[in-house]
Amino acid sequence: MGKQDIPFDFSGKTALVTGAASGIGRDTALAFARAGAQVVVSDIAVAAGADTVQQIIQAGGSAIFVRADVAVAADVEAMVAATVAHYGRLDFAFNNAGVELENQRLADSEEDLFDRMMAINVKGVWLCMKHEIQQMLRQGGGRIVNTASVAGLIGAPKHSIYAATKHAVVGLTKSAAAEYGKKGIRVNAVCPGVIRTPMLERALERESGWEEGLKALHPIGRIGEVGEVSAAVLWLCSEASSFVTGHSLAVDGAMTVV
């Protein structure tokens, strides 16, 4: 695959990406492949996940699809096992699967919503890290990047549950980095601002004039692109960031500094 826009060479390495059926996950899976990595694409959306794999293969890369619900321990364990069975090792893991904002005030939200968001956004990341780290310890090291959010760094009115889950991801990231730094495992997180994904595009079609308001949230004056997040993920997995671990990298156009 052409690497003209990817400054990293991950040839011979294996990358696992959850939530890779669309948006940031798909773009990061494609970016890993362009950098030469073998990619394990995982999601609960089978057809869309298979399409991500097909895009990689058609461009000359190597990829497989593994269906997994990250909130189910057996699925996550099987996902990591399938990665190692097919490619022999796990070098990079991007734990990106999650559910979106609830858009409700705290007192109006429901317990089942809380439980679902915690199960996917927090337990899911914890389960993925648990099994990925076990494999990385066996092979002598690896790199993990978790998807948090700007809502993991600041408060988020009407998104209190989502913000709580993303603060938890930041805490898991920091703790794991401290625990496994001497074992050759680096763990970081990306904290995107508003990013132009298919989900956002559908929302913008429904809400006339909403885009200008979202742009105004970012001092840089625009909404972010998925490629700007995937570039950050690859940098955190590369040797260019060899002294960076436990860090939550805001990819937010300065949204969190105002």
Tell me if residue 162 is catalytic.
yes
Which amino acid is present at 223? I
Strands (E), the chain: 14-18, 38-43, 63-67, 92-95, 142-147, 185-192, 195-196, 224-225, 248-251
CA dist 239 to 8, 9, 13, 198, 244, Å?
9, 10, 13, 31, 10
Q: Which residues contact 249 (CB under 8 A, 6 or more apart)?
A: 188, 189, 190, 191, 232, 236
Q: Which residues contact 168 (CB under 8 A, 6 or more apart)?
A: 118, 121, 122, 125, 152
Alpha-carbon gap, residue 15 to 5, rounded angstroms: 18
Looking up tokens 């990298």, which residue turns up?
249
Q: Which of 10, 94, 126, 162 is catalytic?
A: 162
- Number of Cβ within a 10 Å radius of residue 103: 9
DSSP conformation class of 207? S
Pairing of strands 185-192, 195-196: unpaired
> Which residues are tagged catalytic?
162
